[in-house]
Amino acid sequence: MLYLIGLGLSYKSDITVRGLEAIKHCSRVYLEHYTSILMAASQEELEEYYGKPVLLADRELMESGSADILKDADKEDVAFLVVGDPFGATTHTDLVLRAKRAGIPVEIVHNASVMNAVGSCGLQLYNFGQTVSMVFFTDSWRPDSWYDKIWENRKIGLHTLVLLDIKVKEQSIENMARGRLIYEPPRYMSIAQCCEQLLEIESDRGTKAYTPQTPAVAISRLGSATQTFKVGTIEELAEYDSGEPLHSLIILGRQCHELELEYLLEFTDNKEKFKQDVISDQEYFKPAAWVPPTEDDSD
Known binding residues for S-adenosyl-L-methionine:
9, 85, 88, 113-114, 164, 222, 247
| Residues flagged as binding site | 9, 85, 88, 113-114, 164, 222, 247
Supply the DSSP symbol for 113: -
Report how far residue 88's alpha carbon sits from residue 6's, in angstroms, rounded to the nearest whole number.
9
Q: What's the one-letter identity of residue 96? A: V
What Rg do the C-alpha atoms of the chain give, in angstroms? 22
Q: Using CA atoms, how far apart are residues 162 and 124, in angstroms rounded to an integer?
A: 16
Say which amino acid occupies 99.
A
List 79's β-bridge partners, or say none.
Answer: 3, 29
d(CA 248, CA 71): 36
Distance CA 106, CA 90 (A): 16
Q: What three-state secondary structure class fits 242?
A: coil
